Chain A
Amino acid sequence: MISDVLANGPALVAWAAVLYKLSARRRSPDDPAAHPYLWTLVALASALTVLAHPVYVTLDRLAGIPNLARLLGHGFIMLTAWNARSTLSYVNYPFEEARSRVRHHGAILVVALVFMVVLFGLAPVDEETIQFMSRYATAPFILEYWLVFLGFLGVALFDIVRLDLAHAERADNPSLKLGLRTVALGGIVGLGYVANEGLYVLGRQVDATYPLGDKDMVTTVLVAGGTSLMIIGSTMPAWGPVVGIPAAARWLDRYRMLRTLYPLWIDLYRASPEIALAPPSSPMKDALSLRDLNVSLYRRVVEIRDGLLTLRPYVDPRVREDAIALGRSTGLAGDELVTVAEAVTVAAAIRAKRRGHAAADGGLVAAAPADSDLGAEAAYLTRLSRAYRSSPVVKMMLDHTENADLDGGLVQQGTRRP
């Protein structure tokens, strides 16, 4: 029952995706990459359909050629891979370059298909079976047949995963980002399929035992998983907003920021308790407060800003200079170096304030991004807090100044930041 669903279900999902895309096609952008994308879905739906058991058997009976559906299914899978790769090529490269790539891959596809048809014709696969692979793994010409098919598919899938992840990295829209990552995961499962089939067919040549139990079940799961993930992922930008993916992603972002800001905020609060509108709860309780995140994050950002201002009389500009020198010597540069140096300055000022060591007229801390909005402000302070909590430079500088303080007899006992 489960294997029936796994073997036949993905075809229905794929056709549903095709219909969905066709219904939206009137509004589709006029982009050369839009056509191969639609053909990707059509070819995938066709592949999964001819390989679905009832269709497979019927088709072969009607054609009078045993296992013809297998060849057709493999052909459609290769068409799917070529079209998916074409979609990404058109999106990724200038039109002329993309077209030449698409044609080049198309020529390889045709050659591979011709080889496969010839090898299939030569191979003695005359008895109808849906367990084609296990049944004929050692038949003459079948090893070559599989190597051509899996080789083409493997190279295409590798390229798809690579381009897909690169785009996901740059995507801002959460539905697109998650969608592309889902497609990439599907591609990786597809590569698992290629490896599984390849190793199996090679193993059979030398009578090796298949280590994963039921080989057909493994194949079914990999095919169903890989194709479903790709269909779900590639359509996610369209339905993601309907099921609330952007809202969920924003919630998660805010939650992560709140968590990251906590160490800086709690230390600023301890140095200047007046900054907090509501006194802090325990770290555990803070981590479990999941409601009203917008207001919570707003408060945390404004209270950190207030706290940083209260530190100003305790800021020692020499600490920042030393931190920059130390940071640079550990290989830090650019924004990261500046952020780490600010984190050191803040940490030293918090300690100075606790000990009542005011320094002159005070310096600036944590200059903000120009024209910041709450998002930019929160992002900046998040980076600062992360450096404050975990940068080794901050720890080294604090230890260093602690020792200097001890040598100078300014404090009797070193107290570490909790």
Chain B
Amino acid sequence: MNPRMLRRRCEERLREIELPVPFNAASFCDALAARRGRPIVLRSVVARGGPFGVWVPTPNKDYIFYERETSKWHQEHIVLHEACHMLWGHEPTPITAPELAQLLVPSISPTTVRLMLERRSYPEEQEHEAELLATLILERVGGIGASDAQGRRSEPNDPVVRLEAILDGGRVRNRD
């Protein structure tokens, strides 16, 4: 699929999705779980390379494993990427019960995790669908600029805050 068609498909899909407020990966998964009627459990693991997240369905719930040793924001993106596989209805490679049991043990070695995750990739087109949809969702709820316009200072005696209030004539604050 060419990038333009992929983008269009993702934007169409995005319009059908209701985004929870306040938004984060966990609240998004909660809403998705409620719609699917199956709980989603988020678990961090250390894989040190390879895929950074994986969706593991079991008979009565879905697990999303994500890389622990990366930034908070990156983790949000990884979880959302896996949730987007669910939204698209992609078919995950099944996992055996002993493998899952191993993944749930906190002391599992990164190498074992990596080897398990490496076998669980999707066709490239599905990866792109999940990746772009996750991007568009996070971009919509709080791209750059959601935080930069919020004054970092709320101290009313700060010279800059006062100067701003005086120069803009005490206009009702409605920052762009």
A301-326 toward B: CB 8 Å interface, digit per residue (1/0)?
Answer: 01001101110110000000000000
Q: Which of B40-97 contact A (CB under 8 A)?
A: 48-49, 52, 67, 69-74, 77
Which one of B30-38, B99-107, B127-135 is at the interface? B127-135
B146 and A375 contacting across the interface, CB-CB below 8 Å: yes
Q: Is A288 an interface residue (CB 8 A)?
A: no
Tell me if A253 and B144 are in contact (CB < 8 A). Answer: yes
Beta-carbon contact of A313 and B139 below 8 Å: no
- Is there contact, CB below 8 Å, between A277 and B132? yes
Q: A24-B170, A294-B139, A368-B71 are in contact. Are A237 and B148 (CB under 8 A)?
A: no
- B27 beta carbon closer than 8 Å to chain A: no
Contact (Cβ within 8 A) A87 B166: yes
Distance between A186 CB and nearest chain B CB, rounded to angstroms: 14
A96 in the interface, Cβ–Cβ < 8 Å?
no
Chain B residues within an 8 Å CB radius of A404: none
A374 and B144 form a contact (CB under 8 A):
yes
Other-chain residue from B67, B73, B74, B163 in contact with A167 (beta carbon distance below 8 A): B163
Cross-interface CB contact of B160 among A87, A167, A246, A254, cutoff 8 Å: A167
B40 to chain A, nearest CB (A): 21
**Which residues in B have their C-beta under 8 angstroms from that of A253?**
144, 148
Q: Is A297 an interface residue (CB 8 A)?
A: yes
Of the candidates A91, A294, A308, the one whose C-beta lies within 8 Å of that of B144 is A294
- A357 on interface, CB distance cutoff 8 Å: no
- Complex: chain B residue closest to A381, CB-CB: B71
B152 contacts which of A33, A172, A247, A297 (Cβ < 8 Å)?
A172
- Which one of A8-16, A173-181, A194-202 is at the interface? A173-181
A356 is an interface residue with CB less than 8 A from chain B: no
A141 at the interface (CB under 8 A from B): no
Closest A residue to B77 by CB, please name it.
A302
User: Hey, what's the 0/1 contact readout for B137-155 against A, CB within 8 Å counting as 1?
Assistant: 0110011111111011100
Q: Say how far A93's CB is from chain B's closest CB, in angstroms.
A: 9
Count contacts on B: residues with CB < 8 A to the other chain: 47
B52 touches A180 (CB 8 A): no
Q: Which residue of B lies closest to A358 (CB)?
A: B49
Say whether A91 contacts B162, CB under 8 Å.
yes
Provide the bound-state CA to CA distance between A237 and B165, in Å.
9
- B160 contacts A176, C-beta separation under 8 Å: yes
- Asked whether, in the complex, the Cβ of A309 is within 8 Å of the Cβ of B67, the reply is yes
Q: List 10 A-B contacts (CB under 8 A).
A: A27-B169, A29-B165, A91-B163, A250-B145, A297-B143, A298-B143, A305-B73, A305-B74, A371-B72, A373-B147
Point out residues on A near B: beta carbons under 8 Å. Answer: 20-21, 24-25, 27-29, 31, 33-34, 37, 87-88, 91-92, 167, 170-173, 175-176, 179-180, 234-238, 241, 244, 246-247, 250, 253-254, 257, 277-278, 294-295, 297-299, 302, 305-306, 308-310, 312-313, 361-362, 364, 367-378
Residues of B within 8 A of A (CB): 3, 48-49, 52, 67, 69-74, 77, 110-111, 128, 131-132, 135-136, 138-139, 142-149, 151-153, 159-160, 162-172, 175-176
Supply 12 further A-B pairs (C-beta < 8 A) apart from A176-B164, A278-B3.
A20-B169, A28-B170, A29-B162, A33-B166, A167-B160, A176-B160, A238-B168, A247-B176, A297-B144, A298-B139, A370-B72, A377-B74
